[in-house]
């Protein structure tokens, strides 16, 4: 090999070393756990210190289950992770006691539970979740920044309701606000179920991923409905800056080569996406690869 060829190779090597050096600050350590049971754990998430981009992305992989289960522990309550998506910046999750309820007898409330969720960084998806209420004399509402949203459902008889319909007769659904990080659900009744408690002893309310719940008239009389767990979606972002702001600090900028920064409408923060023709993890050095990408060759 001539001197010129060797010089070119050394130059390329030096450039790549420089790129790697400037990328170390936002990269996971070697040997990080890539799965927890059946759930993939891609960076920027991780199961131990040194494997996630910030503490908000810590995943507790609990071996108390077989197979192990993944939990998002940085909010309240601890949320079971069903899927982590890098493509759209979402988490599919669920948790015990996610269904709020209020049960009645002929004269008063007998038991109730107001479900709540809080995460300091991630927000509840306003496009992929619905607030859902079940009952024949039921209001379900969530309170946020001094205001509230919710829905009302009513029916005089179980014969009035329609299987699969959540249009306000036995079941209702409504959208939630954009960027909501705190979800406090309140269940109530206009007439304390006094006319319907015989066939509908409890009112229920819960947040659910679009299409994950299908209303059945039998749910009105099912006092064990409160024990069910339905999935819902959290949206996540990197940092608290726009793409333009984040690019000014290369050491903290999360998008690696062959990737594009995308501002999220839910804000603040951004996502990274592999460029067209590439696929993989845009948050990892050399993470976005395509058929024409020949770094190691």
pLDDT for position 6: 44
At 144 the pLDDT is 77
| Rounded Cα gap, residues 257 and 21, in angstroms | 13
pLDDT in tens, 152-182: 999 999 999 999 999 999 999 999 999 999 8
pLDDT confidence of residue 266: 86
d(CA 111, CA 203): 11
Residue 18 has pLDDT above 50, yes or no: no
Instruction: Compute the average pLDDT of residues 181-210.
Output: 94
Whether pLDDT at 31 is above 60: yes
**Three-class SS state of 261:** strand
d(CA 134, CA 153): 7
Q: What is the CATH number of domain 243-290?
A: 2.10.25
Please give the average per-residue pLDDT across 242-262, as a whole number.
94
Determine the Cα–Cα distance for residues 180 and 166; give it in Å rounded to an integer: 23
Which comes out higher in pLDDT, residue 146 or 127?
A: 127
Choose between 296 and 194: higher pLDDT. Answer: 194
For the cut 50, the answer to whether the pLDDT of residue 11 exceeds it is no
SS3 208: strand
Read off the pTM: 0.86
Higher per-residue confidence, 271 vs 14: 271
Give the Cα separation of 295 and 204 in Å (integer).
56
How many Å separate Cα 133 from the centre of its chain? 21
Instruction: Find out whether 56 and 235 touch, Cβ atoms under 8 Å.
Output: no
- In 3D, which of 263, 224, 226, 229 has the Cα closest to residue 246? 263
- Name the band, by pLDDT with cuts 50, 70 and 90, for residue 23: very low
Q: Predicted confidence band at 30 (pLDDT cuts at 50, 70, 90)?
A: confident
pLDDT averaged over every residue in the chain: 88
Kindly tell me if the per-residue pLDDT of 8 is higher than 90.
Answer: no
* pLDDT on residue 13: 41
Q: What average pLDDT does range 284-293 have in this prediction?
A: 81
Whether residue 30 contacts residue 62, with contact meaning beta carbons closer than 8 Å, is answered with no
Higher pLDDT, 73 or 5: 73
CB atoms within 10 A of CB 250: 11
Helix ranges (DSSP H) in the chain? 3-23, 243-246
Provide the pLDDT for residue 26.
Answer: 60
Domain ranges of the chain: 35-94, 99-229, 243-290
Residue 248, pLDDT > 80, answer yes
* pLDDT over threshold 50, residue 24: no
Give the pLDDT confidence score for residue 27 in this predicted structure: 81
Structure-model confidence comparison of residues 67 and 296, the more confident one: 67
Mean pLDDT of 179-194: 91
Residue 66, pLDDT > 60, answer yes
Per-residue pLDDT of 219-247, as tens digits, reads 999 999 999 999 999 999 999 999 999 99
pLDDT reported for residue 291: 57
Paired residues of 186 in beta bridges: 141
Mean pLDDT of 102-130: 92
At residue 292 the predicted structure's pLDDT band, cuts being 50, 70 and 90, is low
* Range 76-85 contact pairs with CB under 8 angstroms and sequence separation of 24 or more: 76/116, 76/117, 76/118, 76/119, 77/117, 79/117, 79/234, 81/36, 81/39, 82/39, 82/231, 83/39, 84/39, 84/40, 84/41, 84/42, 84/45
Q: Using the 8-state DSSP alphabet, how is residue 27 labeled?
A: -
User: Quick one: average pLDDT of 141-152?
Assistant: 84
From residue 34, alpha-carbon distances to 23, 42, 84, 293 in Å are 20, 6, 12, 23
- Mean pLDDT value across residues 22-40: 79
């Amino acid at each position: 090999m001539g001197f010129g060829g060797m010089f070119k190779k050394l130059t390329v090597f030096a450039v790549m070393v420089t790129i790697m050096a400037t990328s170390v600050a936002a990269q996971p350590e070697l040997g990080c756990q890539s799965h927890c049971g059946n759930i993939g754990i891609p960076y920027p998430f991780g199961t131990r210190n040194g494997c996630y981009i910030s503490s908000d992305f810590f995943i507790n992989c609990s071996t108390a289950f077989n197979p192990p289960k993944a939990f998002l522990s940085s909010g309240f309550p601890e949320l079971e992770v069903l899927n982590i998506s890098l493509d759209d910046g979402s988490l599919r999750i669920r948790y015990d006691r996610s269904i709020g309820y209020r049960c009645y007898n002929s004269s008063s409330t007998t038991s109730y539970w107001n479900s709540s969720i809080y995460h300091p960084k991630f927000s509840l998806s306003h496009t992929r979740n619905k607030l859902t209420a079940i009952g024949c004399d039921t209001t379900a509402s969530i309170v946020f920044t001094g205001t509230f949203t919710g829905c009302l459902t009513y029916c005089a008889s179980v014969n009035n309701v329609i299987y699969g319909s959540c249009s306000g007769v036995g079941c209702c659904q409504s959208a939630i606000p954009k960027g909501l990080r705190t979800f406090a659900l309140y269940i109530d009744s206009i007439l304390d179920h006094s006319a319907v408690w015989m066939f509908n002893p409890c009112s229920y309310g819960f947040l659910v991923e679009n299409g994950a719940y299908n209303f059945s008239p039998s749910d009105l009389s099912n006092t064990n409905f409160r024990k069910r767990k339905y999935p819902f979606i959290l949206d996540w972002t990197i940092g608290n800056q726009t793409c333009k702001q984040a690019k000014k600090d290369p050491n903290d900028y999360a998008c690696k080569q062959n990737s594009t920064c995308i501002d999220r409408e839910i804000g603040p923060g951004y996502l990274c996406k592999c460029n067209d023709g590439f696929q993989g993890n845009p948050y990892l050095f050399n993470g976005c690869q395509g058929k024409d990408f020949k770094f190691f060759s």
